Amino acid sequence: MDDHHEVVRMWSGTVRTRDRDVYAEYVERTGMAQYRRTPGNLDAWLLTRDVGDGTTEITTVSRWRSFEAVAAFAGEDVDTAVFYPEDDRFLLTRDERVRHYERHG
């Protein structure tokens, strides 16, 4: 992968809809805050989508200047998801691997 293109990092998990707001606030204080503090992070969003069966999908999207900047946040294996202590309490399903995309143009 060419390190000169902007990188978009995406991760998804599922929580109970009743836990959505509490979990979203937790992710804002942990992962999202750490994304934004890491040099080379351009921005980050937390997205939610109520599925309608009592569960809600949570997706985080962050933009980075390079894969080197992602590695400063995620470690050497940039494709491994980063979790925090309370994640196990909330997450019903989770991506163990994140998806990276290169932005062109």
In tens, the pLDDT along 15-36 reads 999 999 999 999 999 999 999 9
| Whether residue 104 has pLDDT greater than 90 | no
The whole-angstrom separation of Cα 94 and Cα 75 is 19
Do the domain assignments include residue 1? no
List the domain range (segments joined by +) for residue 93. 6-103
> What's the rounded mean pLDDT across residues 31-52?
96
Q: Per-residue confidence at 4, pLDDT binned at 50, 70, 90?
A: low
CATH number of the domain enclosing 97: 3.30.70.100
At 71, list the tokens.
Answer: 């590695």
Question: What is the reported pTM?
Answer: 0.91
Q: Could you tell me how many residues make up the chain?
A: 105
Give residues with Cβ within 8 angstroms of 54, minimum separation 6.
16, 17, 18
